[in-house]
Amino acid sequence: MTIPNTTRLFLIIASILGAAGVALGAYASHGLSGWASSQQIEYFQLAVTYQLFHAITLLVVCVLSLFISNRFLLISKIAFVLGICFFSGSLYLYVLTGTKTVAAITPIGGLLLIIAWLLLLVSLFKDKNIKSSD
């Protein structure tokens, strides 16, 4: 089976996001307790949870893209990556730097994740290869 270059790229990105999520989760459990408040640790762990969950989702969407090919699915993958970076990344930066202004980006990341899920839904409805079996 030949995997398209864009799908291969997103599989690599999803793998990196997954590995980084595990590493950051370990840091949240072992490294933050020495200096961070319980609220900061909670924010960091929320970022890790969203990152890991959506990295796995991105992997699934990549596998799905081997069977479905439309622009909505491609844009969905892009939105998942950007959503993870904006949502989780802004929370990591907020906790690690204490800069509250960076937390303003978090809702944009959440919105991008919602859009990614909705684009996934649209791609399923738009694809002509998916047929109902009634």
Residue 133 within a domain: no
Q: Is residue 64 part of a domain?
A: yes
Residues 6+ apart with CB under 8 A from 9: none
Task: Please write the tens of the pLDDT for every residue from 54-100.
Answer: 999 999 999 999 998 899 999 999 999 999 999 999 999 999 998 98
The answer to whether residue 113 is domain-embedded is yes
Q: How many domains does the chain have?
A: 1
- Categorize the per-residue pLDDT at 129 as very low, low, confident or very high, splitting at 50, 70 and 90: low
131 in a structural domain? no
pTM of the full predicted structure?
0.92
* Domain assignment present for 130: no
Q: Which amino acid is at 23?
A: A
Q: Residue 83 falls within a domain, yes or no?
A: yes
Residue 71 half-sphere exposure toward CB, CA atoms < 13 A: 0
60 inside domain: yes
108: pLDDT strictly greater than 90:
yes
Write out the residue range of the structural domain in which residue 37 sits. 5-125
Query: Would 30 be classed as within a structural domain?
Result: yes
